[in-house]
Structure 1
Amino acid sequence: MAQKAAKSLAVRNTGRLKQTHLITLAIHAVFLLFRFTLRRSLSLKRYVFLSAPALAIEFYMERLARPTYKADGSLQRAGEDLDAQGLTEFMWDILYWTWINLILVVVCGNRAWWLYLVVPSYAIYAAVTTASGLKAMLGGMSGAGGEAGPQSKRQVKMEKRGGQRVAYR
């Protein structure tokens, strides 16, 4: 019963890594088979350049999440959770998008490589919207004598009457 969560994480990681490696192998094999037989026009330079990040991410995930065992067969380290939020989730998105893109290149041809620009475009969009939201949030906090933003009709009426009054009883 000891380390039940760690053992289940190790089993889950091992299965998911095996599945990921098999899917990657199949998709890359199909691409290369088409490239060297039926569709010789597919760009090998773009394939190497645009598949390298996904292969590096897969290697990193392998190193990060593969469980290690002691010589007697007991679990030494379960590995990191592959279902974690944040950066791990983003790495899965890049891996999935690379798989989708390779399939689209095989089906549609070299013009489908342009779809790979969706990932950096989305990253730039997310960074800009986050920065502008942060700027707007911090702009309202500054007490540098300027207006804090547009006033409501009620606030304008209160100012005309001479401000808010406090009634003491």
Structure 2
Amino acid sequence: MTLHDDATLVLKGYAPEHRAGAEDGQAELRQAYLDHLALHDDGMWKACAAGHLTASALVIDPEREKVLLTLHRKLRMWLQMGGHCEPRDTTLEAAALREAMEESGITGLTLLPGGPVRLDRHPIPSPCNRHLDVQYAALAPAGAAERISEESLELRWFGYEDVPEVADTSVVRLLEATRARL
């Protein structure tokens, strides 16, 4: 099975009507992602000029009620960990977990069961143009120590209540949906 096939199966199984945030267009986004994959054999890859799927994960420590965000080097925004799928990724989950571990420096992360938490489509500076992000949540192990990567200007743990002050609506909605699943 290819990553493209896995993404199609994951999206077909994503039931936004049964999740928090269903009222904000998740069903329509799900269909747009499926349509994109049906039209573009290269829809998983950065080279796809029409846009491409990405995988991300919000690193969360539910016991401390904190999330780890990265100050993205290029975008200069506080975001969840994530990015482009790579040829070695066999599943969207694997891509999200790889990105979360690479960007946070934390080993032992585990994805919150139940598949993606949310979908988010957003414009991105050229040459990528548009990301169709499949968003997961990753649970940090007790005593997790983060380590900054070359993709970040800074990593910082934020209390749940502090996220709306530093992050955009997409990250806030991802946190809300994640907390509803905990």
TM-score normalised by length of structure 2: 0.26
Q: Which has the higher strand share?
A: 2
Question: Structure 1 or 2: larger helix share?
Answer: 1
Which structure ranks higher in relative contact order (CA pairs < 8 Å, sequence separation ≥ 6)? Answer: 2
TM-score computed with the length of structure 1 as normaliser: 0.28
- Of structures 1 and 2, the larger Rg is shown by 1
